[in-house]
Amino acid sequence: MLRNTKILATLGPSSSTPEQILELARAGVNIFRLNMSHGSHDDHRARLQAIRAAEQALDRPLGVVVDLQGPKLRIGKFPQATPVKTGDRYEFVLDEVQGDAQRATLPHPEAFAALLPGHRILVNDGKLAFHVEHVEPRRIVTRVEVGGELSSNKGFNLPHTVLPLSVITEKDRKDAEFALAEGADWLAMSFVQTGADVKELRDIVGKRVGIISKIEKPSAVDDLDAIATLSDAVMVARGDLGVELPPEDVPVVQRKIVHQCRHLGRPVIVATQMLESMITAPTPTRAEANDVATAVYEGADAVMLSAETAAGQYPLEAVQIMDRIIRRVESAPDYRKVMALDYSVADEPDRTDAIAACVRKVATLLPVTVSVAFTTSGSTCIYLARERPSTPILGISPNLATARRLSLVWGVVAYHGPDAENLEDMVVKTTFCATKLGLAQQGKPMVIIAGVPFGTPGSTNLLRIVYP
């Protein structure tokens, strides 16, 4: 519970029983991901119910992310796997044809409308690359940059090309309705191109669920400020991002996204291939351990396990090792120094920013054991987490959905409990909760922030130092 950086784990065939889900939560998972690219609604409903049962058993909020599939762009059919050679001319056509060594179907008119000479088409996770030389209404002429084998229905990527299509498919709409009906806490949006895509999903779901924008296209990196501002959280989705960007650019872009989201006060997740070798091995490579550590040092709110827990042979061990890496980094002597060096003031600070900054300062002057925020919407905790204080953040909310959402946020120990009725009751409830969770020490101060009158969202105006 006292880790700052949270663990987000994907559920799948290797981790779907109630016993497995409870075991993963006990090992350190704070929030679970349901990937709508795989499995039926009935499969995911059973997993979600098992998460809620684990939450009851552990008496702590557990968050649920429903990850929307997004549009899948694929080439047409081939009678058999067909090699294409580097340097050859190759055509993509809108008409339905049998693919061969000279041409293939690209059944997406939006691509023909958006592609320009000089753009690139990447096929099969970037294993093949084509340089666009000429575009006609129903034909794209390219030169093969990187050859290989083409076969039916392989996916393709268009780096730096913004397609004039909605990234919310009909399947996504149905999956979003499922997520809302089942009480999911977050919706993750795939293949976001611009802030307009986030606004489209917001118009559908409103504030009933948090929106996580997955940054996996260069165009999304270019429009990061707008996307992050319109989202409730952001994910560095390094799978497709690593296909569309050169490998050497991905670490730089990851750092840029994490730092910008921290500056804006948006929770940020680093995802994909973090402990990839643990799909088939009981221990990670040293490079993978360093990758997780880097995300922790950068101040990411959460790190994510994908196939490691969904389909791997060692899902529990992956969570345990990720937990150990995070704890080791956060106990290192230079960790707090790195958090302090990366501190930046909000562009347009308000009174909640000011109070949160005061909490951070108080925690450096006094032996504060915990910073406590009474919050209805969760925003007070997010403001406080943005400061990266040296204490745990106890977020007390009368809204269970808020407490579950806060399970994603850096440093927050979420607690579902009644709001304070007055100042005296605030101190009583703080002392009870902090003592119950092992966050209080006799004779050492706790810092409390809240809004008066109590229960009014966005009214944070009080800081109080108390001694249990």
Residue 375 sits in the same domain as residue 251: no
User: What does the angle CA 257 – CA 258 – CA 260 come to, to the nearest 5 degrees?
Assistant: 65
Half-sphere exposure of 67 (CA within 13 A, CB side): 22
**What residue numbers bound the domain in which 410 lies?**
345-466
Residues 149 and 177 in one domain: no
- Give the CATH number for residue 379: 3.40.1380.20
Catalytic residue list: 33, 74, 214, 272
CATH number at residue 267: 3.20.20.60
Domain boundary among 331, 353, 386: 331
In tens, the pLDDT along 46-103 reads: 999 999 999 999 999 999 999 999 998 999 999 999 999 999 999 999 999 999 999 9
Using the predicted structure, report yes or no on whether residue 160 has a pLDDT greater than 90.
no
Instruction: Say how far residue 121 (Cα) sits from the centre of its chain.
Output: 27
Taking the C-alpha atoms of residue 150 and residue 403, their distance in angstroms, rounded to an integer, is 48
Percent residues over pLDDT 90 in the chain = 91
> What DSSP state is assigned to residue 346?
-
Claim to verify: residue 144 and residue 186 sit in the same structural domain: no
Surface-to-core class of residue 333, CB atoms within 10 Å of its CB (0-12 exposed, 13-18 middle, 19+ buried): exposed
User: Does residue 363 fall inside a structural domain?
Assistant: yes
pLDDT-wise least confident of 274-278, 292-296, 410-414, 461-465? 461-465
pLDDT on residue 2? 81
Nearest-CA neighbor of 355 among 450, 241, 287?
Answer: 450
Whether residue 306 is contained in a domain is answered as: yes
Contact between 200 and 153 under an 8 Å Cβ cutoff? The reply is no
Cα–chain-centroid distance for residue 385? Answer: 16
Looking at the structure of the chain, the number of domains it has is 3
> In the listed set 331, 358, 391, which residue is the last one of a domain according to the structure?
331
- Tell me, what's the pLDDT at 1? 66
Residues 244 and 371 in one domain: no
Reported as a single tens digit per residue, the pLDDT across 451-465 is: 888 877 777 889 999
CATH of the domain at 150: 2.40.33.10
User: For residue 72, what pLDDT is reported?
Assistant: 86
Q: Is residue 15 part of a domain?
A: yes
Residue 62 shares a structural domain with residue 117: no
Residue at 336 is within a domain: no
* Residue 452: predicted pLDDT: 83
